A and B are shown apart, each in its own frame.
Chain A
Amino acid sequence: MRKVNNIILETSLKVLLFIIALYSVYIFTAGHYYPGGGFIGGLMTSGALVLLLITYDIETVAKILPVNYRFLTATGLLIAIATSAGAILFNVPFLTHVFTDVQLPVLGELSLHTATLFDLGVYLVVIGVTMTIIQTIGGDE
């Protein structure tokens, strides 16, 4: 349903989208040691998706990324709840986190922390909520 020929925006999108998406993943993973984390990472990922929405229309984006953002929110919530409630199985207080150092073949020594899983939940909820809001306001039924 596009009327204007916005080739400059579409071309620059192809470069920008991946840079923004990659940077948001970096921000998300760096959250434990540097400023960042699930919230800002999720917002930035939805920023990339909004850029996609500005360039194309809602139907096209839904074709490119067939995601139900309400389910994404619920999935994020469930991941966060499961991470915190997992403590119940080990009979330690709710939300107790653990971490270990893992030797991985390519990445080398990594310190893996269950707080990252909680952060992943936050990340998904933020994307889900932001995109639901924007799509609901933007769509016309």
Chain B
Amino acid sequence: MTNLIVLPILIPLLTGAILIFFGKNKLVQRVLATLSALAGIIVSFIIVQKVRTDGVQSLNISSWDAPFGITLVSDMLSALLVFTTSIIAFACLLYSFKSIGENRENHYYYSVFNFLLVGVNGAFTTGDIFNMFVFFEVMLMSSYVLLVLGGTKIQLRETIKYLLVNIISSALFVISVAYLYSVVGTLNMAHISTRINEISINGMPGILTVIAVLFLIVFGLKGAIFPLYFWLPGSYYAPPAAVLALFGALLTKVGVYAITRTYTLFFYHDGFVFQLLAILALLSVIVGVIGAIAYWDIKYIVIYNIIVAVGVILYGVSVMNPAGLTGSVYYLIHDMIIKAALFLIVGIVIAITGTSNLRKISGLITRYPGLGWTLFLAALSLAGIPPLSGFLGKLLIVQGGVEGESYIGAGLVLLSSLLVLFSVMKIFINGFWGKAQTYEGEEKTPVKWLLISPAILVVLSAIYGIGSESFLPYINMAAETLMDPSTYIEAVLKE
């Protein structure tokens, strides 16, 4: 079927539009949203298998040939990311049923939820730089609504900040695309790559390096790398847990994907920008771990761990060798799953105790052993303890760093694991051990139902880690396309 790769975008779009009609009917909304999420998982799994057997898939929208129309491209990286997105969306949806509250459900929550997926899946799948901008906007507008929906004071305040930052970064995105268009005269990503290759035979012209740095600023603002992460802790502190998990798992990773894609496809000639990327990535790791160990607030601890992970993944990209890239792709998928799980668990803890201050929580393990051990596994996996999924990715990134003779970077990544482990174990030891207490909100919290989603995600992450042997061919395939853009270009331009 020709249109297979458009389906992960089309299904949530259609669902989102239909759900507007059932704004007040909770049951219909939930059933439709669940069905669409399941369909998304199935379709994206088929796409992964299709890419595995037949190579990079491309679709020329509206039958215009490649550089002239919009092309959708599914290589292994985007197929895997779309698949992971679908799984996380399903988990967050299940969690939303019992946690998001009637008020939000009655105000188009599930519609906007689906529109967010349109944006994320579209940004992962598109092969056109301006189309990527449009999908970024679809994603961001939905995230504005999800962030402000409910209208509490903190949400209103943080949405203003988030909106301001993202409007500025979107304007910068348009400016960068305009610069790039004036230099290369095309918007199709594969075509841009060939044009840049033609003019960079004797080294990259200065203007292209400037554009590369501009792109790093734009996507760095979306993906929260070192000097541009300032908006993230506050904004992510505001929304409810299901939305937070969706944001933490997907939004920054779209920025990371965009950096990876543009740097490996467009600017691979330029050593300078990769050096810059490596420095910024390592600084993000440092800032992230400082934040993660500094706070006694469980939300902030996990939020700062996002910044650490973004740094680690981008460091793997910046060394630009097979080990580093494979590690980055593996770690990216691992991190999406485990961050979603952690935020969902944190959400349950906050729902039970009514506070996110770690000093006021203790002894949860006596009453909620399932919750405790899920958090424990997630924490070990996050830090990268061998049989679990965080291990292999970090190992490969460190290997990539050592092979690229960037020993300081590799050492920092290793050291950061220790501090990350310390920060999440702090939640486990202080919150779950100690004297058992009773809390006000615990009767009302449907812990068993809420625990389903993070448990699914943690189990998946464990399978992903233990069975890494069988997943590695997929990851390798993704990394090979990143290392060698010619397969991508051939699939799009069909030369």
**Residue positions of A touching B, CB distance < 8 A:** 70-71, 73-74, 77-78, 81, 85, 87-88, 91-97
Count of inter-chain pairs, beta carbons less than 8 A: 46
Interface segment among B58-66, B247-255, B433-441: the answer is B58-66
Main secondary structure of the interface of A (DSSP, over half): helix
User: How many chain-B residues does the 8 Å CB contact rule pick out?
Assistant: 17
Known: A81-B10, A85-B10, A85-B14. A92 touches B20 (CB 8 A): no
Within residues 247 to 277 of chain B, which ones have a CB less than 8 A from any CB in chain A?
A: none
Contacts A85-B10, A91-B1; is A96 near B63 (CB within 8 Å)?
yes
Check if B13 is an interface residue, CB within 8 A of chain A: yes
Looking at the assembled complex, report how far the CB atom of B264 sits from the nearest CB atom of chain A, in whole angstroms.
Answer: 26
The CA of A70 and the CA of B10, in the complex, are separated in Å by 21
B residues near A, CB below 8 A? 1-3, 6, 10, 13-14, 17-18, 20-21, 23, 59-63
In the bound assembly, the distance between CA atoms of A32 and B17 in angstroms comes to: 26
Task: Please report the C-alpha to C-alpha distance between residue A96 and residue B69 in the assembled complex, in whole angstroms.
Answer: 11
Give, as a whole number of angstroms, the nearest-CB distance from B272 to chain A. Answer: 39
CB distance A95 to B61 under 8 Å? yes
Residue of A at shortest CB range from B1?
A: A91
Which of A70, A74, A93, A97 lies in contact with B3, CB distance below 8 A?
A: A93
Main secondary structure of the interface of B (DSSP, over half): helix
Q: Are B17 and A70 in contact (CB under 8 A)?
A: no
Q: A93-B2, A94-B3 are in contact. List 8 more A-B contacts (CB 8 A).
A: A71-B20, A71-B21, A74-B20, A77-B20, A85-B10, A87-B3, A92-B2, A95-B62
A91 with B62: CB separation less than 8 A = no
Closest residue to A73 on the B side, CB-wise? B20
Q: List the A side residues contacting B59 at CB < 8 Å.
A: 93-94
Task: Give the residue name and chain of the A residue nearest to B16 (CB).
Answer: A77
24 residue pairs from A and B, CB less than 8 Å apart: A71-B20, A74-B17, A74-B21, A77-B17, A78-B14, A78-B17, A78-B18, A81-B13, A85-B10, A85-B14, A87-B3, A87-B62, A88-B3, A91-B2, A92-B63, A93-B60, A93-B62, A94-B6, A94-B10, A94-B61, A94-B62, A95-B61, A95-B62, A96-B63
In whole Å, how far is A67's beta carbon from the nearest beta carbon of chain B?
A: 14
Judge whether A70 and B20 touch: CB under 8 Å. Answer: yes
How far, in angstroms, from A32 to B177 measured CA to CA in the complex? 27
A61 to B312: give the CA distance in the assembly, Å: 58
Q: Which of B3, B17, B23, B61 contacts A81 (CB 8 A)?
A: B17
B117 to chain A, nearest CB (A): 15
**Roughly how many angstroms separate A74 CA and B18 CA in the complex, as a whole number?**
7
Nearest 7 CB-CB pairings of A with B = A74-B20, A95-B62, A77-B17, A94-B6, A96-B63, A88-B3, A95-B61
